[in-house]
A and B are shown apart, each in its own frame.
Chain A
Amino acid sequence: MNPEVSGVDTVIDTVSAVFMVVGALMSLGAAVGLLRFPDLMSRMHAATKPQVLGLFLLLASVGLQLGTWWVWPVLLVAWIFQLLTVPVSAHMVGRAGYRTKHLHKELLTTDELEAVVQKAADKRDADDDETSGPA
């Protein structure tokens, strides 16, 4: 056996092993965050770790272990679609969580959505007054 080739193999195995363990630890971190954080917004912060960085590390370890060039575009497609779709669901869940008041207002440092919601509520009230006549 050629010692040079086996050295490269050892390096690739070590790197992909580290990637796999770290990627699995991302999932564990998300679970710990889900269990310990106080409200929906902070839990969403923890939940995105395995979805983006964890998936990237594990796909990279798959590509390194298989060692063929043509799997990399497929893995890249999987990761890019994950990057495109995760913010959509996070946006919808966060917005619904805000509208149903599943958050601790005192934990927020800034709240830019409150002005928009207040404006929409004022406009709705004005419309109601117009249709029901002057009160």
Chain B
Amino acid sequence: MMEIVLIVTAVILSLAAAGAIIRIAIGPSLLDRVLASDVLLAIIGATLCIDMAVNRHLNNLMLLVALSIIGFIGSVTVARFVADRREQPHES
């Protein structure tokens, strides 16, 4: 049964990663790309979890904890320093 689950989840997560990468490629703004890369990080964490559950080992556990602790720093930094480069009406 675990082999079937592995194949099904591999297909699903591959499609999900492809969707996130497409959004990173075509995303109209920088924040869309940051959000899509966050989703890609969550998908990678999901693959680590499924690898541990199917093969019954704990090699990735510390990596997973570290991801959940410091994975938000990148998007916070980009969101802090993002600037509006489009023309905006400036009344003054």
Count residues of B near A (Cβ-Cβ below 8 Å). 52
A77 to chain B, nearest CB (A): 6
B-chain residues with CB within 8 Å of residue A99 when the two chains form the complex: 84
A66 to chain B, nearest CB (A): 6
A2 to chain B, nearest CB (A): 20
Q: Determine chain B's interface SS by DSSP, over half rule.
A: helix
Q: Is the CB of A100 within 8 A of B82?
A: yes
Task: Find the A residue at minimum CB distance from B71.
Answer: A85
Contact-residue size bin, chain A (C-beta under 8 Å from the other chain): 35 or more
Q: Is the CB of B39 within 8 A of A54?
A: no
Q: Determine chain A's interface SS by DSSP, over half rule.
A: helix
B-chain residues with CB within 8 Å of residue A40 when the two chains form the complex: 29, 31-32, 35
Q: List residues of A whose CB falls within 8 A of some B CB.
A: 13-14, 16-17, 20-21, 23-25, 27-28, 30-32, 34-35, 40, 43-44, 47, 50-51, 54-55, 58-59, 61-62, 64-66, 71, 74-75, 77-79, 81-82, 85-86, 88-89, 92-93, 95-97, 99-102, 128
